Amino acid sequence: MISKKMEKALNDQIAMEGYASFLYLSMATWCDHKGLQGCYEFLRRQAEEEHMHMLKIFEYLSDVDGFPVTPGIKQPPHEFDSVQSLFKSVYEHEQKVTKSINGLVSLANSENDYSTQTFLQWYVEEQREEEALMRTILDRIQLIGDGPQSLYFIDKELEAINKQVAAAEAAGGE
């Protein structure tokens, strides 16, 4: 049995993960329209991953006799100033998600909810990996710069990163 407070907090996280999925899908579409196929593929995979994160919480709540709520998702932006600002927004959003996950862990600890604490450890690790990946992408974008050919090289970097992450996930069984 899960407390009503924890149930609400996890339902709020479901909404956050759902929004992230739609946000990254919107960003992927913007990249596709700009001819940035590598960026598109990377963000499309990220959107699918966020959707999976949402579903994991949904299933967990059902397992602990909570009631998962299908969230209404706010319309994400669909126009971006640049690929650089887009990925800065991704990083900032991942930091927001990390803060939210940490709040959930804190709440689970304060309620001695050991089941939820254990469940959330996967998200703690996942967020560490997500933030590190986004910092790597931002570092590479900064190294490439913003000259006339920068979009081409940024797109190629994201294509390579996407392949590496997908291969690592496949090897890890995720």
Q: pLDDT tens for residues 99-133?
A: 999 999 999 999 999 999 999 999 999 999 999 99
> What is the maximum alpha-carbon separation in the chain?
58
Q: Which two tokens stand for residue 136?
A: 């790597």
| Cβ atoms of 26 and 77 closer than 8 Å | yes
| Cβ atoms of 94 and 129 closer than 8 Å | no
Q: What is d(CA 92, CA 9) in angstroms, rounded to the nearest whole number?
A: 21
User: Tokens 């946000």 appear where?
Assistant: 23
**Phi/psi of residue 81, nearest 5 degrees:** -70, -40
Domain coverage including residue 120: 4-172
Task: Look at residue 173 in the predicted model and tell me its pLDDT.
Answer: 59
- What is the chain's mean pLDDT, rounded? 94
Does 174 score more than 70 pLDDT? no
CA atoms within 13 A on the CB side of 160: 9
Does 142 score more than 60 pLDDT? yes
CATH number at residue 148: 1.20.1260.10
pTM of the predicted structure, to 2 decimals: 0.90
pLDDT tens for each residue of 70-92:
999 899 999 999 999 999 999 99
Does 147 score more than 80 pLDDT? no
> Distances in Å between the alpha carbon of 60 and those of 6, 7, 14, 52, 159?
12, 10, 11, 12, 33
Task: Look at residue 129 in the predicted model and tell me its pLDDT.
Answer: 94
User: Stretch 52-76: mean pLDDT, rounded?
Assistant: 96
Q: How many domains does the chain have?
A: 1
What angle in degrees, to the nearest 10, is found between the helix axes of 83-110 and 37-63? 10
